[in-house]
Each structure stands twice: as C-alpha cells, then as structure tokens.
Structure 1
Amino acid sequence: MWFLKKKGKTMNPHSSSSSQVRESKQKDILKTSLQQNIQIVNDTLGKSSDIVIREIPIGKKGTIQAAIIYTDGLTDTASLQSFILETLMIDIKELDLLRKISSEQNLINILKDAALTVGDIKEIDNFNHLFNSLLSGDTIVLIDGYAQGLSISNKHWVERGVTEPETQTLIRGPREAFTENLRVNTALIRRKIKDPNLWMETENIGTRTKTDIAIVYINDIVNEKILNEVRLRLDRIDIDGILESGYIEELIQDSPYSLFNTVFNTERPDVVAAELLEGRIAILVDGTPFVLLVPALFIQFFQSPEDYYEKNFIGSLTRLLRFLTFGTAMLTPALFIAITTFHQSMLPPALLISLAGQREGVPFPAFVEAIIMAVVFEILREASIRMPRAIGSAISIVGAFVIGTAAVEAGIVSAMMVIVISITAIANFASPSYEMAITVRILRFGFMGLAASFGLFGITIGLISLILHLCSLRSFGVPYMSPIAPFNVSDQKDTFIVAHLWKRITRPGLLSQKNRVRQQGSAFAKPEPPRK
C-alpha cells in the first residue's frame, strides 16, 4: 500500500548517486553565516507573516550577532521576553570575557549550560530539525559564526481545558476527559498511574504534519511481542499527514474490511489507566482527545467504567443487559419479518389476527416496510447529530413522533412495525461503544435481507457466519473473541459478569504473560464479617 514503507529497497539505476546524497545532506546542514541561515529560513517558509525573525547584538560590546526565530501564535512570548531576550540582551554582560577565558568551549554550550534559564534546550545542526522545532512552537537561537543553534522549548497556544467526556458519560466516576494537547493527556495518565514502570515513547508520523505520537505502556506488565508489533506497524506508516487518531487506527488495524473494530478508542483517562494495568498499550495522538488502545477484544466494547465503580451485582446486571440489547438491536426487525412472512403459525391466534388487521391496507411487504422505517430513523438520527444542539434533540424527538404517527395513519406502515423499529433504536442507544452501535446498525440491514429471503433459516445462517467471522478475527495477534473463544476459565470473572474485586486478582492471560497477579497478600482477601 502507498501509505506503508517498504521493508527493503533495491538500488535503482536511475536513483541519485551517493555523491548527490552527500551533497543534499550538506545543504541541510546549518551554515556558519547568520545571514545565510536567515535567508534559507525565509526562502523555505516563503517569508510567512507568522514567522518572526529578530536580529540582536549580544555580548558586552554587542559584537556578536544573533537571531531569535519563533512562530507567532505557537510560542509563549512572555517567557521569550523574560527568559531569552532579557538574558541575551541585558543579563549577559561578560559574554565576550567568557568567550576569551573559555576559548576551547563552544559559545553555544556556554549559552545552553550557563546562561539561558529554560528547562528544555536542545542543540540543532540541520535545517530539518530547525523547521520541525520552529513550526512546533519552539524558539530558535542562531549565532553568527556557528553552524549550530539552540532549540528552546516554550510552546504555548490557545487550547481547550479538561472537561467532561462528551461521548462516554457516566453517573458515577471521574468527570475528566482527554484534550487535544498531547502533554496534557500524558499528564492525566501519569496522575492515575504513579509508577516508574509507566513508559512513554514519542515519535513523529506524517511527512508534512509531523504529528507527535506517544506509545504508553507499563513495562513490567506489557507483552513484548505485542509491543514490538505496535512499534513495527507505526514505523511502517508513510503518509503525508495525520490529523486524528482515526488515521492511525485505520493504518494499523488487523482486518480493515471487517465491520468490527480491532482497535478500541476512548476519551476517558480512567479507562486508559485500567487498560494499561491489564497489559494493553495506549497510542496517543496530538490534536485529538481520543486515545487508541490495543489489543481490542469483542468483550471490551460491552464494558463500561461504571461497572467497576458500583456494586458488582449492579455491574453484572447492566452488562448482561448490554448483551441483551446487542441482540435486540441486531435481530428484532429480522425476527419480525421472518415470523410475519414465513412462520405465522408461531404466533398466538389473537396476536396473528391483530397483526393481520393492522397490515390491512398497507401496500408494502414487511421487509420493505421495515427498510423504510429504519432508513427514516437513520436519517433523523444523523440530522439530530448535525443540527445545532439547541434544536437537535427537539427535531429528533418531534420528527420521529410526527413521522411515525403520520405514516401509520396514512397506511404506509403498520403500528407494530413502528413499535419494532422504536425498540430496536432504543436498544441500540444502550451500547457503551459508539463504534459497536454503528456495526449493529449495519448488520441489522443484512439480517433483515436474510429474513425476508429465507426466514428463520436465513437468520440462523447469518448468525453462524457472524460467529465464524468473529472467531477468525485477531487484534495484534490476540484472538478477538477471547476469553470466550478460546475459552479461559480464569478470565470469565470479568466477561459476562463482574466478579467481586477480591476475585479479580489476575490479569488477562493472553494480554500479559508476566506479572499476572495484580496484588498478593491480605489486600485481596475476602472481607471478613464484623465481629460481634
């Protein structure tokens, strides 16, 4: 694929020679002439108005020429004036003396080690590094006579603060969500897990956007094979821009043509912390509040953080309810079509007579009737999402009520079909994962077609095919249906039900091969009843 780097490259006879490659590298190196460096920066960036270049004299007598380069809007100008400009122009009065005394020492090192009072300072010696730092919000310091410069980290731009999650709301639980700032997101994770084994690896992806990507994992828990696979897939990405984590998700997932996601995403720091403690790997992308988690399993899309914050029997009941709504949202219209079209004898006589009376005068078969109502409801759902929030909810509720009532009174659809589609839609809203809800909505139409063609036999064939497909999926080498298939007894404590906390003492076996026990000793012992 065009967006993946080739593992091995052969020498092309028409490719550039080694001398041309060396010449290209030499052009990328900073020059000793300050004016020549400034000219290259201006020519490369097209003299953009947001790039500020200020030449200043430094030293006791102002004999040394320097240049400060930064991007307006991405750089903290207050720290620039207080810690960089003021230091170079006012505070360092004996710079020439220091240069004479330490003639063997590079002036760049003197500024870096003894003058500038900024935390993160890096030396740069090529224009590629210069432009990457400059366009990321860093301040560049160049000095005449030196083929090196300094990249000073003082990024600052207007950003959204930590707010409540928009898509994964809870009644009980933390009220904080990730933001678009990568460092804020990593800090939120550090706040949850204060462990030195929480490691973070950062790299840039995108030849033009150079988007920062962070791989986060707990070193003494993570599976090394899965971690190496994640690194390999990220390193193979060769694309011009990454604007959202969805780009990364599409490029690293196992089965791109499957309706089921093999990469999980969330905007909640508590979810990421819990998954890291189980041995999963988080992928954070700068510019988006949605964090990717791998490997992703089928059961993961039915779990909610609230399952673990309430009593275990409450979490178990709600999780079982989600599985029930999953089947309801996917199969209810198909079952109604199959029974009313092919298997009327399965219905009680009174209900059959009632349905026949309702369908009297309806010009369409049950399948076409269901398709019309399902498509109309999908249109209303999409319209309510795109409309302004002040009127979006009103349009969805009023629109569904008015259209449903008018369609029944006009004899286009039956009242029972409106009830069936309404139950299906409400059940679909119960899914804690938006991606799984979309998958169910698509599968629903497929099962409706099978039911209209073959009845219950078609639904059975569809379910068997669906189960076989799910069992064939893998996420970074881990079976998608685990711990259901392959069946693992010890991991059933957090599959269909939520066992007591003192019983969930081991991590999932296929995710973490080392340090599987969460904690030993009395901390996970069953609580004893109070003594009388």
Structure 2
Amino acid sequence: MEQKKTDVFRGNYDQRKKAVEELLHLDVNFDILHKELVIGNKRAVLYSIDGFLKSSVIEKMLEFFSSIKAEDVPEKYDDFVRKFAPFADITTIETQKDFVKYVLAGLTCFFIEGYQQVLAFDLREYPGRNVDEPEKDKVLRGSRDGFIEALIPNAGLIRRRIRDTNLIFQMENVGRSSKTDVAVIYMKDRVKPQALQNVIQKIQKINVDSLSMNKESLAEVLFPRSWYNPFPKFKYTERPDATAACLLEGSIVIMVDNSPAAMIIPTSLFSILEDANDYYFPPITGTYLRLTRIITSIVAIYITPLFLLLIEHPEWVPQVFDFILIEDEVNVPPVIQFLILEFAIDGLKMASINTPNMLTTPLSIVAGIVFGDYTVNSGWFNSEIMLYMAFVAVANYTQANMELGYAIKFFRMLCLILTAAFGLGGFIVGSLLIVAALFLNPVLNGRGYLFPLFPFDGQQLLRRFFRVSLPYVEKKTKTGQK
C-alpha cells in the first residue's frame, strides 16, 4: 500500500477525517460508507463496507449513540468504552495499518473527537449461501450440512461438533493486496507441536500478492516445485463431520476465506481413499464400500492398458476368455480410440457444467445417441472399447477426491501410450512410474504418502482396508495411537 503523507492518527479531528478520505478514496468508492454524527458533545464519523453491514444493527447502534447526553461523555477513551460500548465484538485500533486492515475486512470503525484511538465493532454479515450438503461429498446416511464461503459460519459448524477448549482456530493473513484470512485449526492436546509449527511458519513466510484461487493458490505456494506429480498432496472435504473427525485424530485443518473446502494435513493415499459413507454404515457394510472403491480405482488404472496389451498378444489370452478380444473389423487403432474417448468424456463433463439446467437432459440424450450404436456402426469405435471406457467413466465418480480421479486418469493414459509404443515393456515401465510417483509424492507433514504401507504399520494398514467398530476407533483416538 502506498504510504500517505497524512496519517489518520495524527492531528485534530478534521485533519484525521481528511486523511481517512484520502486513504480510502471516499470520493470514488461508492461502497465505503461514512456517516457523521454527534455523540454527546463530541463529533464522530463511522466508516464501513456497505456489502458487509447489517443495517438493522447499525441503525439501533446509531440511535443509541445519538441519545447519549453531553454531560455523560467521559474524557478518557477507556471510560467511554466501558460505559457506552454495546454488546458486540469490540476492537481498539491504534495504528493506520490496523485501521486499513479492519475497515476493509468489514468492521465498522468510529472516529470520535478527542480520542486518539479508533473504536471498531464487528457487525459483519458476509453474503453467503445456505449450509447445504456438498454436491461432491454426498452421503446416503448422515448429516446434510456443508461448508460455505465464509469462515465464521464454517467455524460454527465445527464448534457444534467439538465442544472442547482444546479446539483452536488460529488466524493468519496471506497476500499483500488480498490479505486473505487463512484459519489454521487444530486440537491443542492431540496435534504434534513440530508439525503445527512447520505449517504455521510456512504460511507466515508466504510472500504473494494475493491468493486469487483460494485454497489452490495456497497449495501451490506450499508445494511450489511438485506440479509434475498429479497425485493430491492434501485431502479436501466440504463436510464438517469429516473435518471434525480428522481434527480429533490429531490432523491440522486449513481453511481459506471464500473457499468452502477444508484442507487436511497430514494426508496419505489411504486417507484420501476414505469416504464419509464408510462410517455411516455398520462395519461390514463400510468395509465392503471401502474395498469396492479401492478395487475400482486400481482396475480403472489398468483396464484399458491391459486390454490393449492382450489384443496385441491374443496368444496370451486363455481360451475361456476369448470373448474379450475384438471380433469386428478395426478401422482406427485401439490406442487412438481410447485416447479419443478419454478426451471426449472430459469434454462432456465440461459441457454438462456449462450447460443450463433446463438443457441438461437434452444434452444427456444427445450424448447417449452419439456415443451409442451410431459411433460403433460408423466404424470409428469398436463395441469392446466402448464398454471398457464406459466402466472408466463410471469409475471416476467412485472417488470423492477429484484430484485423485484425474491423477488416475493421467497415469492410465500414460500407461496406455507406453503400452501401445513398447508393448509389455511399456506396460511395466508405466506401472513402475505409477509406483514411483506414489513413493515420491511429497507431504507437508506425516510419515509419508503411502503410510501405513511404507513405513509399514500392520495394525494401521489393516484398519485402512477394513472398517472397525466405533468403540475401537474411540479407544485408539483417546490413547493417541491414530
């Protein structure tokens, strides 16, 4: 911010008022409100952002201040606050930097003649939507609320589930221009102090102009040189219940203002594969859902490269499985068919996102016709390839984590291309690249991306595959073993 020649905390009332007008550009900013009033025998002026101000509350406050008599106004600022400050979140501002920070954050600031300090009230009411269930993290059974784009309501959703004095919400600001609020949330008695200190220091050292893309900008700053590995480095969730469960396990949660997703640290591949539905059903059902998700993800990586390898070497296929081979004439090389369909599926996803709701059904019908019998009859695609790509398209939606879904897609395409170019050797190299990417994927804290498989912890690994009963989970959580 450019330093002004005048300071809002120097000079008399008129000089300070003029300095504020220059600092906030009140002559051109239509959304910054300023209103002059008289409190007893003292002149006063308030400043606030129109979009954040709750009109009914400020009207009652102004009515109260206007009713104060001149003989009742004390000479000292502290006496005034103690005697007349209404029931609200009150902040005393004594520097110009803090004044700019608070007024642009939405606080209502009062300059009162004769007092050097500035009195600020937190009367903000951020525009926001209802706490509806997230579209991506839906559950068949369980709570239906979800985070929104404002930190205060999100904090309330977590506090509602964890009524413990050890639950800490630590606020940081990131960005020279945006000054984005970043909340670091943790359980003081369960988090690892070294891991917490590492996270906070990294956030405090961030030197950027703004977090233009919220949590994604923050994630890219925390891992500036790991863009080449598509596997997610954080676990994201928009569910308050999942966030509260991670906090009780000793994890650190980072929330960025204007973003409804919580970033969970540390994380691992197995924790990303978990889903809220695993815990809203009995253990045997939750275990089945978890194993189905894990197996589906593995099959989604290898189904098309393996099919391509087998049709290039039909002698490897047992006689009982001869039906998997392509019997019709192949006009387009299978690898080209697979790649075209990979891009076409993403094209349909983007089209569905940008399509108005009233046209979604017609779009689905057209897509079904185009990618149905017509494409097979035209000779562009074979029915076997369409079948396996249909499985891949459905398998992508078994993952609640979108980043993991696209990581699986990228490595499937890489393995597909290597298999088409080098045969069995390319298939093996592609598999080794997947394993290497998993082992080398960095994590901000924790024992590693593949924990508890590497380093090996048999008990924890068993729990990652098989859902145990809740009393067992609570016992382990209390003893700090999770």
Q: Indicate the structure (1 or 2) with the bigger Cα radius of gyration.
A: 1
Query: Is residue 327 of structure 1 aligned with residue 298 of structure 2?
Result: yes
Identity of aligned residues (%): 28
Contact 1:199 1:217 in 2 (8 A): yes
2:60 equivalent among 63, 74, 82: 82
**Separation in structure 2 between the aligned mates of residue 157 and residue 477 of structure 1, nearest angstrom:** 33
Matches of 2:69 and 2:229 in 1, distance apart? 63
Q: How does 1:8-23 map to 2 (within 5 A)?
A: none
Amino acid at match of 1:58: I
Residue 17 (structure 2) aligns with: 38
Q: What's the offset of the Cα at 1:301?
A: 1.7
- Counterpart of 1:65 in structure 2 is 43
Change (3 A) 1:32 1:81: farther
AA in 2 matched with 1:224: P
Whole-Å Cα distance in 2 between the matches of residues 503 and 121 of structure 1? 45
Distance 1:506 1:253, change over 3 A: farther
User: Which of 80, 104, 109 is 1:111 aligned to?
Assistant: 80
1:109–1:421 Cα change, 3 Å: same
Question: What is the match of residue 444 of structure 1?
Answer: 412
Q: Give the C-alpha shift of residue 94 in structure 1.
A: 2.4
Note the 1:57-456 alignment, pairs <5 A.
Answer: 57-59=38-40, 62=41, 64-83=42-61, 85-96=62-73, 98-99=74-75, 106=76, 108-243=77-212, 244-253=214-223, 255-341=226-312, 343-348=313-318, 352=322, 355-358=325-328, 360=329, 362-392=330-360, 394-396=362-364, 398-456=366-424
Q: CA RMSD in A?
A: 2.3
Query: What TM-score results when the alignment is normalised by the length of structure 1?
Result: 0.84
The CA deviation at 1:349 is: 5.1
Distance in 2, Cα, partners of 1:217 & 1:356: 55
Contact kept? 1:32, 1:145, Cα under 8 Å: no
Q: 2:137, 2:238 within 8 Å by CA — same for their partners in 1? A: yes
State the Cα distance separating 1:288 from its structure 2 match. 1.4
Q: 1:338 and 1:454 mapped to 2: Cα distance? A: 10
Work out the number of aligned pairs and report it.
Answer: 476
Task: For 2:179 and 2:324, locate their aligned partners in 1 and report how far apart those are by CA, in whole Å.
Answer: 64
C-alpha distance in 2 between matches for 1:205 and 1:376: 39
Can you give the 5+ residue segments of structure 1 that lack an aligned partner in the other structure?
1-23, 100-105, 509-513, 519-532
The alignment status of 1:474 with 2:438, answered yes or no, reads no
Q: Secondary structure at the match of 2:51?
A: coil
Q: Write the letter of the residue equivalent to 1:428.
A: N
- Determine if contact 1:200/1:215 at 8 Å carries over to the other structure: yes
Deviates more, 1:113-122 or 1:187-196: 113-122
Cα distance in 2 for residues equivalent to 1:282 and 1:142: 37
Retained in 2: the 8 A contact 1:28–1:127? yes
SS of structure 1 residue aligned to 2:67: helix
Letter in 1 for 2:79: I
- Change in CA separation of 1:203 and 1:27 when aligned onto 2, cut-off 3 Å: farther
* SS at 1:53 equivalent: strand
Q: Is the 8 A contact 2:415 2:430 kept in 1?
A: yes
Unaligned runs of 5+ in 2: none
What's the counterpart of residue 52 of structure 1?
33
Further displaced range: 483-492 or 455-464: 455-464
Deviation at 1:144, TM superposition (A): 2.4
Identify the residue that residue 480 of structure 2 maps to in structure 1.
516
Q: Is the 8 A contact 2:441 2:449 kept in 1?
A: yes
Q: Which amino acid aligns with 1:391?
A: L
Structure-2 residue corresponding to 1:11? none
Name the SS of the counterpart of 1:192 in structure 2.
coil
Residue type at the aligned position of 2:341: M
Contact 1:87 1:116 in 2 (8 A): no
Q: Distance in 2 between matches of 1:477 and 1:74?
A: 37
Displacement of 1:352 after TM fit? 4.8
For residue 86 of structure 1, report the CA deviation from its aligned partner. Answer: 2.1
Q: What is the CA-CA distance between 1:423 and the residue it aligns to?
A: 1.3
Residue identity matched to 2:358: A
Task: Tell me which moved more, 111-120 or 221-230.
Answer: 111-120
- The runs of 4+ residues in structure 1 deviating greater than 6 Å are none
Residue pair 1:380, 1:400 contacting (<8 A) in 2 also: no
